[in-house]
């Protein structure tokens, strides 16, 4: 999985827009993304993010929107527009709803995680974000880009996650507690601890179908 | 002091910072991100932490001097401080921020004042220790050596 990620990364560089009001966190996430071979743009607020994307009708596109954004990673708690509000705006825009959005938060609150996933967030990372978290998100994005169509994408993504889970040797320490309603065994020490969360999301989707 | 002694001193110093709970594994993460392309990465991130922290501590002091205390705003500021200290692995500062936020939530002025003092104190300590550590690293580099991992 790691080798596949590296090969793909050299052919196609993801452009990531990182949104965080903290100077420190912007610097760290920028480094994590650059090390993971991404092009990075950092902005300090949801409003700036929308401007960059060209979604802010008042200010216009300001000539920034030349580079296509492949992924948005945003902090949850920001003054003004929260990451959740930014997520909603993006998912409700016809032009940008396809861009995967990852939420980062220092607070591990289940209702918060659920609402973000419900609004269409790809992942919810608990801060401080580690390199293993970023690499996993990258792998998911690259795999996602390889498949066609929304429904197929979701099924394939789950398949890749299952493969990833089986072969992954690095354990992510994004500590997300298992939901009490989760059908999965809750084991905090499993490798790739976000897998139960993904499976929970997928399980929810499958139940609806 | 010769190079080997300097390097040993650095390793011992760093180890003690972890053992005494001043730093946690997030600091190690940051160090692992540093490379030849960006040899000052850790110093740069920590400098941003110092700037942010000093600004926030000033604002918190001012907030607690007001006639009417804006606990909500203070809570947001402590949250920011908690976030940046967590991001660089400043463990003790981070833990104190959690307690501080609890006092903000229940509007306990005495508790907030006490916490602010403690956070200022711990921040002062970690700042001094990190600066000493960076100085030691610089001495090693100046002596033509490399920083032991």
| ipTM here | 0.94
Lowest mean pLDDT among A198-207, B8-17, B138-147: A198-207
B114: which 2 tokens?
């006490």
Give the closest of B29, B45, B76 to A24, CB-based: B45
B19: which 2 tokens?
């053992």
- Asked whether residue B141 is assigned to any structural domain, the reply reads no
A85: which 2 tokens?
């509000």
B12-27 burial: b if 16+ Cβ within 10 Å, else e: eebeebeeeebbbebb
How many cross-chain Cβ pairs, A to B, lie less than 8 Å apart? Answer: 51
On whether the pTM is more than 0.80, the answer is: no
The predicted pLDDT at position A147 comes to: 52
Angle, helix B3-19 to helix B109-142, in steps of 10 degrees:
160
- Number of domains, chain A: 1
Q: Name residue A74's beta-bridge partners.
A: A19, A103
In angstroms, how far is the first alpha carbon of chain A from the final one?
30
Q: How many Å apart are CA B136 and CA B104, to the nearest integer?
A: 39
Rounded average pLDDT over A134-163: 62
- Asked whether residue A114 is assigned to any structural domain, the reply reads yes
Using DSSP's 3-state secondary structure scheme, residue B17 falls into: helix
- Asked whether residue A59 is assigned to any structural domain, the reply reads yes
Q: How many Å apart are CA B114 and CA A200, to the nearest integer?
A: 43
Instruction: Give pLDDT tens digits for A94-117.
Output: 989 999 999 999 999 999 999 999
* Residue linked to tokens 């942010």: B52
Determine contact, residues B91/B24, Cβ cutoff 8 Å.
yes
The predicted pLDDT at position A142 comes to: 76
Lowest mean pLDDT among A27-31, A178-182, B68-72, B98-102: A178-182
User: Which of B83, B85, B105 best tests the A interface by mutation, with the highest count of A CBs <10 A?
Assistant: B83
- Could you tell me the CATH number of the domain that includes residue B85? 1.20.120.160
Asked whether residue B126 carries a pLDDT value surpassing 80, the answer given is yes
- Asked whether residue A194 is assigned to any structural domain, the reply reads no
Determine what percent of chain A is predicted with pLDDT higher than 70: 58
Task: With beta carbons under 8 A apart, name residues in chain B contacting A77.
Answer: 79
Q: How many Å apart are CA B11 and CA B14, to the nearest integer?
A: 5
- Asked whether residue B4 is assigned to any structural domain, the reply reads no
Average pLDDT of the residues of chain A: 74
- Number of domains, chain B: 1
- Asked whether residue A25 is assigned to any structural domain, the reply reads yes
Q: Which residue has the higher pLDDT, B71 or A11?
A: B71
Asked whether residue A3 carries a pLDDT value surpassing 60, the answer given is no
- Asked whether residue A62 is assigned to any structural domain, the reply reads yes
Q: Which residue has the higher pLDDT, B148 or A155?
A: B148
Q: How many Å apart are CA A36 and CA A142, to the nearest integer?
A: 12
Residues A79, B32: C-beta atoms closer than 8 Å: no
A38: which 2 tokens?
């991404």
Q: Which domain holds residue B62?
A: 13-29+42-135
Asked whether residue A122 carries a pLDDT value surpassing 90, the answer given is yes
Rounded average pLDDT over A4-32: 83
Give me the torsion for CA of A148, A152, A154, A156, rounded to 10°: -90
- Asked whether residue A127 is assigned to any structural domain, the reply reads yes
H helix or E strand, kind and range, residue A42: strand A39-43
Task: With beta carbons under 8 A apart, name residues in chain B contacting A23.
Answer: 48, 51-52, 84
Q: How many Å apart are CA A121 and CA A153, to the nearest integer?
A: 15
Which residue, B67, B65, B72, B57, is CA-closest to B121?
A: B57
- Could you tell me the CATH number of the domain that includes residue A110? 3.40.50.2300
Angle, helix B71-88 to helix B41-65, in steps of 10 degrees:
160
Rounded average pLDDT over B18-34: 96
Q: Which domain holds residue A128?
A: 15-145
- Asked whether residue B105 is assigned to any structural domain, the reply reads yes
Q: How far is CA B28 from the centre of its chain?
A: 13
């Amino acid at each position: 999985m790691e080798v596949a990620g590296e090969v793909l990364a050299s052919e196609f560089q993801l452009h990531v827009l990182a949104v965080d009001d903290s100077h420190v966190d912007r610097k760290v996430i920028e480094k994590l993304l650059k090390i993971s071979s991404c092009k990075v743009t950092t902005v300090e607020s949801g409003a700036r993010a929308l401007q960059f994307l060209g979604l802010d009708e008042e200010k216009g596109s300001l000539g920034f929107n030349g580079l296509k954004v492949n992924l948005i990673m945003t902090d949850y708690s920001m003054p003004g527009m929260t990451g959740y509000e930014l997520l909603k705006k993006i998912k409700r825009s016809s032009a940008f709803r396809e861009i995967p959005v990852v939420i980062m938060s220092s607070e591990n609150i289940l209702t918060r995680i659920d609402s973000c996933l419900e609004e269409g967030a790809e992942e919810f990372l608990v801060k401080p974000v580690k390199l293993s978290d970023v690499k996993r998100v990258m792998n998911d994005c690259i795999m996602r880009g390889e498949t066609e169509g929304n429904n197929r994408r979701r099924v394939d993504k789950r398949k890749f996650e299952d493969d990833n889970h089986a072969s992954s040797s690095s354990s992510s320490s994004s500590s997300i507690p298992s939901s009490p309603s989760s059908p999965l065994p809750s084991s905090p020490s499993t490798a790739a601890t976000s897998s139960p969360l993904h499976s929970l999301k997928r399980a929810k989707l499958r139940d609806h179908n | 002091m010769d190079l080997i002694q300097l390097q040993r001193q650095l390793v011992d110093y760093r180890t003690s910072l972890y053992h005494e709970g001043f730093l946690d594994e997030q600091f190690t993460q940051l160090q692992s991100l540093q490379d030849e392309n960006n040899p000052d990465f850790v110093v740069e991130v920590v400098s941003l932490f110092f700037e942010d922290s000093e600004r926030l501590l000033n604002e918190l002091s001012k907030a607690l001097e007001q006639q009417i205390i804006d606990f909500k705003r203070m809570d947001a500021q402590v949250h920011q401080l908690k976030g940046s200290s967590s991001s660089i692995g400043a463990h003790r500062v981070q833990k104190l921020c959690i307690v501080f936020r609890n006092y903000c939530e229940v509007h306990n002025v005495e508790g907030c004042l006490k916490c602010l003092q403690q956070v200022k104190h711990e921040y002062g300590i970690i700042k001094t220790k990190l600066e000493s550590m960076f100085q030691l690293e610089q001495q090693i580099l100046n002596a033509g050596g490399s920083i032991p991992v």
